[in-house]
Amino acid sequence: MTVLDEIIVGVREDLAERERAVPAARLAEQVAGAPAPRDPMPAFTAPGVSVLAEVKRASPSRGDLAQIADPAALAARYAAGGAAAISVLTERRRFRGSLDDLVSVRAAVEVPVLRKDFIVTDYQLIEARAAGADLALLIVAALDDAQLRDLHATAVELGLTPLVEVHDEAEIERAVAVGARLVGVNNRNLKTLAVDPATFARLAPLVPEGVCRVNESGITGPADVAASRAAGADVVLVGEALVTGDDPAAAVQAMIDAGR
């Protein structure tokens, strides 16, 4: 069993508990009364490289990263530095996140918010929308073709912008086949957790023109953002480098400057 498989087993167990506690119909009622989602694409496709800044307490590869007692305050600092959107880890076991983190971040910032999790059912998308998310992560490696197609369609129907994550050439083909407008190339192999910073540069040319490209994992500072731009990135997703730094707002601003 790969690391990704193990994570999804835990995700499904936690999901079953939430489904018993909060029926999908109740979530749907919340969605019906929620404000319209924010569209991240104008900012993501603007000149330069946009920063998608992440609220991330821990990771399977490095364990605990930061306490982050106040996710909303951290997100506000990211936004003050110019982040185009905020990513919030909501997976509990490996990343120490929760939907409550997303709710608090949504209340604190005006920029779009991504639910970053291992989404395998429609229920999680409805949860995301009810909690105030504007985007939702869909990991191609975690889904078969039918699941990817159906979840992508459901996300769009709910008004969410799917960030479709790929790791190799075959996964790019699958992402394009479902009509993904926003494709994230993850330099981290989720089956082994190894990071190859060259992955984005190798795969980005295979993402069709007109599809927004996100470089994920291994972005440690402005130099990596400049290299990402040269390789064709429109957006960089940055977590560990920001949550472990001293000044998140300044760090985001420096990355934006490097991407211009």
Helices 145-158 and 169-177, axial angle in degrees (round to 10): 50
Residue ranges with strand state E in 56-148: 58-59, 63-64, 85-89, 113-116, 135-139
pTM of the model: 0.96
∠ CA 247-216-243, rounded to 5°: 25
The parts of the chain modelled with pLDDT lower than 50 are none
Q: Which amino acid type is present at position 110?
A: E
**Can you give the residue range of the structural domain that contains 221?**
3-259
What is the pLDDT at residue 181? 97
* Dist. CA 204–CA 202, nearest whole Å: 6
How far does the chain reach from its first CA to its final CA, in angstroms? 42
For residue range 205-254, list pLDDT tens digits in order: 999 999 999 999 999 999 999 999 999 999 999 999 999 888 999 999 99
C-alpha distances (whole Å) from 78 to each of 19, 119, 120, 145 are 32, 25, 29, 35
What is the pLDDT at residue 37? 97
CA 157 to chain centre: 19
Q: What is the CATH number of the domain that holds 234?
A: 3.20.20.70
* Dist. CA 44–CA 50, nearest whole Å: 6
Q: Decide: 218 and 188 in contact? Cβ < 8 Å.
A: yes
The catalytic site residues sit at 54, 56, 116, 165, 186, 216-217
What is the pLDDT at residue 66? 80
If one counts the domains in the chain, the total is 1
What is the pLDDT at residue 70? 95
* Dist. CA 116–CA 123, nearest whole Å: 15
* Dist. CA 129–CA 115, nearest whole Å: 9
What is the pLDDT at residue 60? 82
